[in-house]
Structure formats: structure tokens, C-alpha cells
Amino acid sequence: MTDAQIRRRVVVQGRVQGVFFRDSLRRGAQSRNVAGWARNRSDGAVEAVFEGRPDDVERLIEFSRTGPRQAEVASVDVRDEPPEGLTGFDIR
């Protein structure tokens, strides 16, 4: 990865499980060449990591604030992390 890569960890609270949130993140990440993963948490949230160019990562974070049509996002927590050089995007 180049110095232009960033990494963000995102935790999305609300009605975000069972509404194709993770798959929507995967499709968005793949179309923007962003690496990372998304998973459902036991507390009902969706957690995701995005690594890529700053503009592309920020677009995915913005999408996370609304999610797919069936989602009802209550809050989004975003944290900076050092990039790890991930490749691809996984649903965990």
C-alpha cells in the first residue's frame, strides 16, 4: 500500500442487521477498490474496516450513515487506525 492509503474502523448502530448492510458495504467497497471487512456484532451493530484511498473510504463512511433502504441508522462511530495492507473485502 502507498502512503495515500488510510484505514477507518466503523461501528454502525440501529436497525442494521438483516437488511443487507454488510453486503451493501462489500459491493460499495469493491466498486471503489477499498479493502477490509464487515461483520455483525452480538450487540446488534455492524462493524467494518475500510482501507483505501481517502476519498473512497470517506464515501463508504458516508454510505454507512444511511445504509441500504431497509436500514435505520441511529449512530456511526468512526476511528482512525494504521493501515495493515489488507486486500479484498470480506463479510465475516
If you search the block for the grid coordinates 451493530, which residue do you land on?
45
Determine whether 40 is an active site residue: yes
CATH code: domain of residue 56: 3.30.70.100
Which range marks the domain in which residue 58 is found? Answer: 6-91
Residue 1's CB is within 10 A of a number of other CB atoms, namely 14
Per-residue pLDDT of 34-55, as tens digits, reads 999 999 999 999 999 999 999 9
Catalytic: which of 22, 33, 39, 79?
22
Residue 1 lies inside a defined structural domain of this protein: no
Catalytic: which of 9, 15, 32, 40?
40
Q: Please give the model's pTM, rounded to 2 decimal places.
A: 0.93
Residue 25 lies inside a defined structural domain of this protein: yes
Residue 14 lies inside a defined structural domain of this protein: yes
Determine whether 33 is an active site residue: no
Structurally, how many domains does the chain consist of? Answer: 1
Residue 52 lies inside a defined structural domain of this protein: yes
- Residue 44, by phi and psi: left (phi above 0), alpha (psi -120 to 50) or beta? left
Residue 38 lies inside a defined structural domain of this protein: yes
Residue 58 lies inside a defined structural domain of this protein: yes
Per-residue pLDDT of 68-83, as tens digits, reads 999 999 999 999 999 9
User: What's the mean pLDDT when you consider all of the chain?
Assistant: 95
